[in-house]
Structure 1
């Protein structure tokens, strides 16, 4: 299974959560974090789709970006959940991020995401 099948929906959920936090509570921090992380994940997904369409099984920048985003969201939202005990949104995002992170680590550790590093022709 290609990583973009997970990364793009994950990015949409994070982005949607940020927008929902802004609409519901007026939280600019939620909007900024959701847009930042969601946009980064959507970029990583698009790069993975592009690499796949070109016949490669991965893109180094996309792999690093999506993994870093998943780690950051797991840690930050996990800590927030521990402090507040609020399932929505901290517990849900921490859980989804942890599951996605497990997928990324599994994919990388099994060599299923051989990354494509573009090299310019000399």
Structure 2
């Protein structure tokens, strides 16, 4: 597979390029939650309790830069910011679903029971 440059970065495979957009611990869970509805920052933080404020802000910024989500800030007091998944972000949902199903299968094979929330 030939390597390629994009945005001043060298990529070796399309998988690496895709994971740049949705990889890591938090990007997929954020996109997963935004697939159903627009959420405010605080709603995302509450729904993903183990993420720090710094990490959530960073991941939201990266997803916005990649065009996976949009951010809308409202000029009100207190400040209100809402995040919405884009069409580009929606294209990642079937991939995330496949990875999640694979993870469940691996957990089952390892004898790990996933707790229901």
TM-score norm. by structure 1 comes to 0.29
Higher RCO (C-alpha 8 Å, min separation 6): 1
| Larger fraction in strand | 2
Which protein shows a greater Rg? 2
| Larger fraction in helix | 1
TM-score norm. by structure 2 comes to 0.29
